């Protein structure tokens, strides 16, 4: 029969396990996320034909973006990471959720999550998140996204979107807020492009 852990030992083991989630270092003071500036209202069902539904796919992205850290675009061939800034989950997943919320709020389309319902014959928005970080020379948060919209029986149309938002500092809170604003600007432009 094994020894029973004292409360102190149990707390110490829990702290070590939590530290392991963040690469063995001290966990960050806060994690960043993205929030849609406009979201669909609750308890308002929406009925649409299959052609009016849309599925938003998680965008592809370079490895520098898919990490949980914020890239700093030092120059054309050099990327660093912003100290103390860490996303709560993959930026590509966060951006997909923001796009879905914005499209649902700003169009009459129903955004269908393929994880919940796979039988709908809907338009599909695929894409690639090209840049999602800090431009230190311009002192701007930058978001660049290329979308590829496939409509049933209508082929594929692509378009590129970009937004830049000035940043007053290089701390996680300031840069995170600017990236959230830039991501919302891109999402609004994507929703307008999709229409409906």
Tell the residue number behind the tokens 């849609």, with chain if given: 36
Are 19 and 78 part of one and the same domain? no
- For residue 20, what pLDDT is reported? 40
pLDDT of residue 116: 66
pLDDT of residue 135: 97
Q: How many angstroms separate the CA atoms of 124 and 96, rounded?
A: 12
Q: 16 and 89: one domain?
A: no
- Are residues 51 and 6 part of one domain? no
Residue in the structure block whose two tokens are 């600017």: 178
Give me 21's structure tokens: 């989630």
Give residue-wise pLDDT tens across range 5-49: 454 444 444 443 433 444 445 666 789 999 999 887 776 666 666
Task: Identify the helix (H) or strand (E) that includes residue 146.
Answer: strand 140-151
Q: Are residues 44 and 133 in the same domain?
A: yes
The position carrying tokens 């319902």 is: 117
Using the predicted structure, report yes or no on whether residue 84 has a pLDDT greater than 80. Answer: yes
Report the CATH number that the domain containing residue 174 is assigned in CATH: 3.40.50.10610
24 and 113 part of one domain: no
Beta carbons within 8 Å of 27's beta carbon, 6+ residues apart: 18, 19, 21
Domains in the chain: how many in total?
Answer: 2
- Could you tell me if 115 and 163 lie in one domain? yes
Q: Are 41 and 25 found together in one domain?
A: no
| C-alpha to C-alpha distance for 58 and 89, rounded to whole angstroms | 13
Mean pLDDT of the 139-153 span: 94
pLDDT computed for residue 44 by the predictor: 67
Give the model's confidence band at 183: pLDDT under 50 very low, under 70 low, under 90 confident, else very high.
very high
pLDDT at residue 178, as a whole number: 98
pLDDT at position 17:
41
Q: Domain span at residue 25?
A: 1-29
pTM listed for this prediction: 0.82
- pLDDT for 14 equals 44
Are residues 42 and 16 part of one domain? Answer: no
Asked whether residue 146 falls in the same domain as residue 97, the answer is: yes
Indicate if 171 and 86 belong to the same structural domain: yes
Q: How far from each other are the two terminal CA atoms of the chain, in whole angstroms?
A: 66
Mean of pLDDT values over 79-86: 94
Same domain, 99 and 117: yes
Query: Domain check: are 19 and 104 in the same one?
Result: no
């Amino acid at each position: 029969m094994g020894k029973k852990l004292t409360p102190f030992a149990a707390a110490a083991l829990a702290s070590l396990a939590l530290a392991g989630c963040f690469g063995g270092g001290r966990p960050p003071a806060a994690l960043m996320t993205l929030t849609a500036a406009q979201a669909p209202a609750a308890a308002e069902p929406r009925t649409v034909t299959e052609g009016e539904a849309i599925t938003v796919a998680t965008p592809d992205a370079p490895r520098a973006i898919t990490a949980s850290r914020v890239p700093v675009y030092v120059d054309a061939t050099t990327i660093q990471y912003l100290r103390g800034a860490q996303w709560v989950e993959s930026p590509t997943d966060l951006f997909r959720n923001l796009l879905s919320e914005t499209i649902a709020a700003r169009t009459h389309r129903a955004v269908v999550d393929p994880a919940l319902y796979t039988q709908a014959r809907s338009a599909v928005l695929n894409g690639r998140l090209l840049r999602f970080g800090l431009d230190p020379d311009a002192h701007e948060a930058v978001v660049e996204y290329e979308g590829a919209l496939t409509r049933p029986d209508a082929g594929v149309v692509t378009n590129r979107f970009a937004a830049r938002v000035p940043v007053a500092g290089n701390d996680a809170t300031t840069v995170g807020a600017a990236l959230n604003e830039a991501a919302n600007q891109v999402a609004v432009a994507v929703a307008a492009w999709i229409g409906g």
